[in-house]
Amino acid sequence: MNYFSSNFKLGILGGGQLGKMLLNDTRKFDIYTCVLDASNEAPCKIASNEFHLGDLMDYDAVYNFGKQVDVLTFEIENVNVDALEALEKEGVKVYPASQTLRTIQNKARQKLFYRDNNLPTSPFTRFAYTSEVKEAIEHGSLTIPFVWKSAQFGYDGQGVKIVKSVSDLEGLPNVECIAEELVPFKNELAVIVARTPSGESKNFPVVEMEFHPEANQVEYVICPARIPEDVAQKAIDVALKTSEAFNHVGLLAVEMFQTQNDEILINEVAPRPHNSGHQSIEASYTSQFEQHLRAILNLPLGRTDSKVGGVMVNLVGSEGYSGNVVYENISNIMGLDGVTPHIYGKKQTRPFRKMGHVTIVDQDINMARKIAEEVKSTIKVISE
Ligand code: ADP
């Protein structure tokens, strides 16, 4: 198949920042793209060849869009999987596969998958409704503390609650959920694995993720993770095994906990480019976005080692500001060594909305981490 400057059409479901960064690479290769998103202001709108407006959860919207392309991928998990399955049956190449997405979309099903495939994850119980969690505590079959997770539609820490007393359950939606053992982890790690339809796999280095304590959202990503070699190797082995178990095609970001005993437990996976790989744009020989394209198009995978240490800091909307976005002090941080800002192009800010990120490269990873803190405290994402 000739993808370059040809009639080939790549469809992308979702028009957010991940799609926008993927489009830098389709532009680089001159691969024709069609993007479907529900918002006329989606970051992808200006960079795709064709922009289609439609609801990603709507069967007809996804099916009709998919019929017009040769390979279909997605940059967001919340899409209509029945439509993907129908398209696969009719010969459209959907990568990653609908079956994988169906498993991942539901956290209870995802955890069962790990259990069934002997992949390490923390113990959990599934509940049809949150109200049953309360009953389980009363009957003594569930003990506090634990982590409550909505089975569906959670993202960026929405739909996750650490329950330390029964009152923490108040106000949670009465939906299908899991109660997961609270892991007192040393570190949160991630490994992105790329796999082609022919089964070639390559992993990016292990990264360390530092989370914002209130927002439950990644604040800094540090590549490489500052952990012992044998622990890093263990994390890589788990990630490769996970990608293999899904028979995955495309990128799979595997988020893991490093426990106090240096065991590795899978937290969750994302079958797409991921926040934990953004630093690869500046710091790696091949960015995660280029690698995703190579993987889903069955092209040879690129080098995944880093040219330099990289730290990524997310730019999220400041608390107390909603409305038309204004970025303050971007030019100041560009005066710091090795600093590159990425602005996603979302018009409206709100507290903790991901509006952009900044990559800091340095031979010394601790220096990069220090500059990242300066970046974080200097840039302000506010409203007019
Ligand atoms: P999301 O799908 O919204 O990203 P996650 O399942 O990754 O949600 O949880 C968000 C964050 O909550 C994690 O990155 C971690 O900091 C914390 N967390 C999740 N599960 C556990 C757990 N079992 N033990 C301790 N902390 C957890």
Distance CA 248, CA 200 (A): 10
Amino acid at the residue 310: G
Distance 294 CA to ligand 1 centre (A): 30
Q: Is 216 in the pocket of ligand 1 (CB under 6 A)?
A: yes
Q: Which of 154-158, 334-338, 369-373 has the lowest mean pLDDT?
A: 154-158
Answer whether residue 161 shows pLDDT above 70.
yes
306, pLDDT greater than 80: yes
How confident is the model at residue 315, as a pLDDT?
Answer: 97
* Architecture (CATH level 2) of domain 123-181: 2-Layer Sandwich (3.30)
CATH 3.30.470.20 maps onto the chain at: 185-383
DSSP letter, residue 306: B
Task: Compute the distance from residue 202 Cα to the ligand 1 centre, in Å.
Answer: 26
**CB of 183 closer than 6 angstroms to any ligand 1 atom:** yes
How far, in Å, CA of 12 to CA of 20, rounded?
10
> How many angstroms separate the alpha carbon of residue 148 from the centre of ligand 1?
9
The CATH class, in words, for 9-94 is alpha beta
C-beta atoms surrounding 146 within 10 Å: 24
What confidence tens digit (pLDDT) does each residue in 321-356 have?
Answer: 999 999 999 999 999 999 999 999 999 999 999 999
CATH 3.40.50.20 domain range(s) in the chain: 9-94
- Name the band, by pLDDT with cuts 50, 70 and 90, for residue 156: low
The pLDDT score that the predictor gives to residue 158 is 74
Residue-level pLDDT at 155: 66
The reported pLDDT for the residue numbered 213 is: 80
pLDDT at site 131: 95
**CATH architecture under which domain 185-383 falls:** 2-Layer Sandwich (3.30)
Average pLDDT (279-296) is 98
CA distance linking residue 52 with residue 34, whole number of Å: 7
